[in-house]
Amino acid sequence: MGRKYFGTDGVRGRVGESLITPEFVMRLGYAAGTALVAREHQRGNVREGERPAVLIGKDTRISGYMLEAALESGFAAAGVDVMLCGPMPTPAIAYLTRALRLQVGVVISASHNPYYDNGIKFFSAQGTKLPDAVETEIEACLEQPMGCMDSARLGKARRIDDAAGRYIEFCKSTFPNELDLRGLKIAVDCAHGAAYQVAPSVFHELGADVIPIAAAPNGLNINEDVGATAPDSLRRAVLDQGADLGIALDGDADRLLMADADGRLYDGDQLLYIIARQRAAQGAGATGVVGVVGTLMSNLGFEHALGRLGIPFARASVGDRYVLEMMQERGWPLGGENSGHIICLDKHTTGDGIIAALQVLAVLRKQGVTLAEACADLVMYPQRLINVRLPAGFDWRAHAGIGAAQAAAERALDGKGRVLLRPSGTEPLLRVMVEGENSDEVQRWAESIAEAIRNAICV
């Protein structure tokens, strides 16, 4: 049975509508707190008279103030103590929850979405996404009326003043002690988001000359033509400022894109390749095997390049949650998406843009190479993505013309490319992706399939 409130990454929507209202978020805090108290008492983790505790962080959206207060009220009413740390990257909340031995971490963020969206996502005590079973328990509690503990059992709230410093030191600890970033001029695009205070400090304290970009949030400008989803701003800054490198994060700092001194951009596949190649060369990995999990959207050239190095590769469904699940199933340390989510399980429990950047920089410093040189043997295939809007109730799989167009493209590519039709999980769109060795051929077949879909809609 599908869940009513939780998506693949928590609860998300437009502020003031449906789920992202003060009333619902307070109920969500109460429901999560009620489920948490029950689980902790059942496990014997909380003694009589004690209260479980949660950490709440947020990005820089103006709605974060309102939703933070609502969540705090809900948790307190359920008898849960609340620790507040203000704007912090999503992966920072995962780390701090584990480091402070708290029961749950909560992030108020809609990641790379515009300011008028927001969401609530949860982390377990181990710094991982909540198991489906726990989210199901929370949904069950949401169906019950909201109550309130007796006054003596209400939760308390306090602010953690050293949260940023703790996370900065954690990030720095993932960079080799024998290396530094002295002599490098790095532009760091914070997307006016959650990392605006911590990201420049991490790279500066490791010795880099840092040029902060999009580090002046006003509550409304998060992700607006900046960050990992709009990397042209980073490219221009690198060229204008004469930087050696550029680093772009998204609003909650779990995505990463990079640029070299020539303004060339490097996506998640390319950056993950640089990390994987180095890990394989040094025999890293707790299981002795360096395997990489990508997604259905990972570039075929990336897969082939890993194959030439003898590095196992597997594709998960799109979404860092599914990537992480497959990594854990296979015992592989590396995974990610071409959008810039990169997970290094030997460094952190979740995807982290700052830590991923440090892993790439460590390779460049160790080998004395540039980004271009580090992935010179990775040939990315041209890839074309076309989104076609679908009317309500339209079953694209039932139309023979669409299937015929897809089959024709696959025959023409003859094993030297891929065709993927994937419905969006959040919008009424069908995503048509074609990739292959020849860009003109890729473009032609992507447009042909998209046109077949539009024709089927009109029938």
Tokens of 292: 């990489």
Please state, in angstroms and rounded to a whole number, the distance separating the CA atoms of residues 409 and 213: 42
Helix (H, G, I), strand (E, B) or coil at 429: strand
Cβ neighbours of residue 116 under 8 Å, at least 6 residues apart? 14, 15, 63
Q: Is 111 a catalytic residue?
A: yes
Residue carrying structure tokens 């707790």: 286
Tell me which of 63, 73, 111, 339 is the catalytic residue. Answer: 111
Taking the mean position of all CA atoms in its chain, how far away is CA 320?
6
Tokens of 259: 């640029």
158 has which bridge partners?
83
Residue carrying structure tokens 């001194």: 261
Cα distances (Å, whole numbers) of residue 195 to 5, 192, 249, 352, 363: 28, 8, 8, 11, 23
CB burial string 231-261: b at 16+ within 10 A, e below: bebbbebbeeeebbbbbbbbbbbbbbbbbbb
171 has which bridge partners?
none
Please state, in angstroms and rounded to a whole number, the distance separating the CA atoms of residues 350 and 320: 9
Catalytic positions are: 111
